[in-house]
Amino acid sequence: MDTILRRTFLFAILSLLAAIPAWSAPTWTQPTPEELKMTSDPAAPDAPAVYLFREEFVDDNVHFHRVYAQIKILTEKGKEEFSDIEIPYEGGNSDIKAVEGRTIHADGTVIPFTGKPYSKELVKSGDVKWMSKVFSMPDVQVGSIIEYRWELQYDDNWFIPPHFYLQQSVFTHKAHYHFVPLNMATTTKMLISKDAFGKENVASRLLYYPNLPPGVKVRAGMDGYDLVVDNVPALSEEEFSPPLDSYAYQLLFYYSSASSGADFWKDEGKVWSKDVDRFANPSDKIRQAVAGIVAPGDSDEQKLRKIYTAVMTLNNTRFSREHSLAENKAEGLRVKAAADIWEQKRGSDDEITRLFISMARAAGLKAWAMAVTERNRALFNGGWLDWSQLEDEIAIVNVGGKEVFFDPGQRYCEFGKLHWVHTQLPGIRQSDSGPALMTSPGATYQDNQMLRTADLTLSADGTLKGAVRISMGGAEALRWRQEALKTDEQEVKRDFEAMLQGQVPNGVEIKTNHFVGLTDNTTALLVVLDVSGSLGTRTGKRVFLPSAFFEAREKTLFAAGKRENPVDLHYPYITQDKVDLALAPGLAIESLPKGASIPIPQMALYKADYSNAGSTYHQERVMAMGNTLYKATDYPQLREFFQKTGAQDQEQVVLKRAPEGSATGGSGANE
């Protein structure tokens, strides 16, 4: 496992450790009569459960994390969430010991945990295996209080300063965190770690990053660092939230060689940049490869397109399988430079990105790397001095005097575009004047276009037949192409039709016929689907049809009246719908909805038009989202927009049976 993945997974584990806090006392905490009788919590109305007390005690001198939690179960949802406890850890370097627990019913009856936790494998990546210990609390009921404690023990040559995440999924009444760091003034041990590019660093000091509730401070003393917090609000899981851990109250400890943030990012940026240049240095083999790909008369853009296409054919192990060091050695493979990736036709996402940079440089273009996070997982925190935050690399190439951003490490990403998780992100880039802080560009709605067309026929008895064609580029095309890498085309067909089936009207049946361009990122991805079933609700002499075929059952976003977190809609987009419904003899349009135009000025626009020509009903709909990031204070405006557009999509077309012998496509009131 590479250093970045190891650290990322380790920090995820420590986040979970903090979510189930630690215990340093020899006895259980006796709940009060009021806590036993509690059926709801005025401090957290409608909460499924609450932490009455949480504690974590960490001592790096003796290599353990002790964890304790006392939780009141208030609803069935809380019972479901907290009855089973799962504790992740790295197999071989650490283990979970001294697991204890008990359930206290509302009448005071105590049921001790007498079972034995079992182990299961979570992830095996390269030479590292991640495990979890799992146990179930006994006889948990609504109204119960559950308590458990356990200890994570790790090897003597490991030092794991904690990351305390104060906000959890439910309200916390009181929490206590304590950390005893390694005494760096007296220890005979030297803290040496390898960073993301293999450089060994000697940590000379302990640092911490605090994002704490107002008025709360860390106490530092001879006994270590201590933090007590009361009435910590839950970290609400709301739809389209940015990575919540990046916003949550937290206290992150880490050993470091840095003396200041400015020096750290400057120095580490230089080391990273040097490593990129070493790897991406255009060797003779790379120059020969590029000479066989491009033609002498090609423009800079033509050269780059050919290089990008060639790099995209390689086996990207992020989307297939990471190989262990032992496997690579057995195959006689090595990875020291870009030429090795080209010869082996296989590499990780960052290795392929660096190969692309190397080939661009060999073609005479100025090309640089940029280190970024993934916006769906975390945001870059300059106050936390750890390079492993910057887990991905993208490429920047000067094309015709303009810097263009590329994402060759994302299999099937289109030329000149970034995966949305790499857009609008602060990171560190290479430049002619050295590493520099920069924000990656955002996409525009033109980068993510979707056209959905439906050609349908409705018979007099309500039987529906026809076909749907959906053409897409950008984020959605990339999503489905990468899904096919994880499974196969047949599975993607089933998944796509299941998604669309949940959007079209009741009674309509969707079947994916075929894809065009599923493995070709140079063209739009086209999906052709067959339509059958029935359409409309019949009452007497009339038939009521949904006016928006593709949005008839789509869930309206943002139903909640209030919002605590910012909104991240992932990427801007434009979706255009064109629906033609031919009516059989005996059916005529009586009325159509009025067209609508609903904007958020300079941010979003929705338009819907309805018409009929003879015996054919025609609907056109456009939804364009130009802005994707909204503050919580902007939520009312965003919610109102989606409420109005959702209501418009629920408008109906009214048909009537035409008198026998008359024209079948009679004029409607809104024609």
pLDDT in tens, 17-30: 444 444 444 578 89
pLDDT at 423: 97
- Helices then strands, counting H and E runs in the chain, come out as 12, 37
Predicted confidence (pLDDT) per residue in 439-493, tens digit: 999 999 999 999 999 999 999 999 999 999 999 999 999 999 999 998 889 999 9
Hey, which residues does 149 pair with through a beta bridge?
Answer: 68, 100
- What's the CA gap between 420 and 571, in Å, rounded? 6
Q: Averaged over 258-271, what is the pLDDT?
A: 86
Predicted confidence (pLDDT) per residue in 365-378, tens digit: 999 999 999 999 99
Same domain, 156 and 192: yes
Same domain, 213 and 247: yes
Q: Averaged over 298-325, what is the pLDDT?
A: 88
- 662 domain-assigned: no
Same domain, 378 and 428: yes
Same domain, 229 and 272: no
* pTM for the whole structure: 0.86
Same domain, 420 and 518: no
pLDDT at 327: 54
- 549 domain-assigned: yes
pLDDT at 329 over 70: no
Q: How many domains does the chain have?
A: 3
- What's the CA gap between 187 and 203, in Å, rounded? 12
- What's the CA gap between 171 and 63, in Å, rounded? 30
Q: What element of type H or E holds 267?
A: helix 261-280
pLDDT at 369: 98
For 652, how many CA atoms within 13 A lie in the half-sphere containing its CB? 12
pLDDT at 415 over 70: yes
Question: What does the block give as tokens for 121?
Answer: 């494998």
- What's the CA gap between 512 and 495, in Å, rounded? 9
Same domain, 405 and 542: no
SS3 of 602-647: the string is CCEEEEEEEEEECCEEEEEEEEEECCCEECHHHHHHHHHHHHHHHH
- What's the CA gap between 190 and 202, in Å, rounded? 7
The least confident of 323-327, 350-354, 405-409, 592-596 is 323-327
Predicted confidence (pLDDT) per residue in 110-156, tens digit: 999 999 998 888 766 656 677 888 999 999 999 999 999 999 888 88
pLDDT at 322: 54
- 143 domain-assigned: yes
Q: What does pLDDT average to over the chain? A: 89
Domain harbouring 119, CATH code: 2.60.40.3140
pLDDT at 594: 97
- 661 domain-assigned: no
DSSP code of residue 64: E
> What are the phi and psi torsion angles at 414 (to 5°)?
-70, 155
Domain end call among 193, 222, 255: 255
Q: Averaged over 527-537, what is the pLDDT?
A: 96
Between 668 and 205, the higher pLDDT residue? 205
Q: What element of type H or E holds 450?
A: strand 449-458
- 464 domain-assigned: yes
pLDDT at 17: 45
Q: Are 603 and 626 in contact (CB under 8 A)?
A: yes
Domain harbouring 307, CATH code: 3.10.620.30
Above pLDDT 90, what percent of the chain? 72
- What's the CA gap between 653 and 366, in Å, rounded? 57
pLDDT at 420 over 60: yes
Query: How many angstroms separate the Cα of 536 from the Cα of each of 332, 549, 573, 664?
Result: 64, 11, 30, 17
Query: Which residue range(s) make up the domain with 360?
Result: 263-442
- 13 domain-assigned: yes
